[in-house]
Amino acid sequence: MELYVERGFDETTVAEIAKRAGLTERTFFRHFTDKREVLFAGAAKLQDLFVEAVGEAVPDLPPVDAAIAGVVAAGALIQERRDFARQRYQIIAANAELQERELIKLAALSAALAGALRRRGVPDHAASLAAEVAIAVFRVAFERWVTDPVRLDLPQLMRESLDELRTVTADRGTG
């Protein structure tokens, strides 16, 4: 990770990463399929956490609030690894190919979230919309948290972003 920040993602070889981590290349490839996986290996865990939290939310919670329960659970986990999250963000922001991969992961996350909502009995389109709203909250709150020099509380920012989204979405908005 430090190497990606120092040299740029494209300029860093697996041999260098393995050396810095005190691993052989063979051991590296036992843990990661390629060097991008160092950045994206956590995505599956994050998705499981999302889906689980949505499934466990109080039964009569409105769809978006159920989806946000997943977002907030993910936020708490990400917050524990602030240095990793900040480095990862910098690396991805500097590389178009990684940004594409990040978009794909977020689209997959949105689809998984919509699936979890459907299993709660939320109708098809409502589930897709609520999931997209939750991912929008996730992205905007995360971006704010990761770029702010002050150590803000990510789950709290997520809840605030949802409130803000409700304000901009309201039929008689304040804008």
Does position 170 bind a second copy by CB under 8 A?
Answer: yes
Residue placing its CB nearer to a second copy in the complex, 37 or 132: 132
Altogether, the residues listed in the chain come to a count of: 175
Under DSSP, the state recorded for 35 is T
Residue placing its CB nearer to a second copy in the complex, 22 or 175: 175
Does position 150 bind a second copy by CB under 8 A?
Answer: no
Torsion of CA 150, 153, 156, 157, to 10 degrees: 40
Q: What distance in Å separates the CA atoms of residue 93 and residue 80, rounded to the nearest whole number?
A: 21
| Binding to a second copy in span 1-60, by CB under 8 A | none
| Binding to a second copy in span 115-144, by CB under 8 A | 120-122, 125-126, 128-130, 132-133, 135-137, 139-140, 143-144
User: Which of 48, 62, 81, 119 contacts a second copy by CB under 8 A?
Assistant: 62
C-beta separation of 14 from 25 below 8 A = yes
Q: What distance in Å separates the CA atoms of residue 99 and residue 107, rounded to the nearest whole number?
A: 12
Amino acid present at 170: A
Chain residues in the site for a second copy (CB under 8 A)? 61-66, 99-100, 103-104, 107, 120-122, 125-126, 128-130, 132-133, 135-137, 139-140, 143-144, 161, 164-175
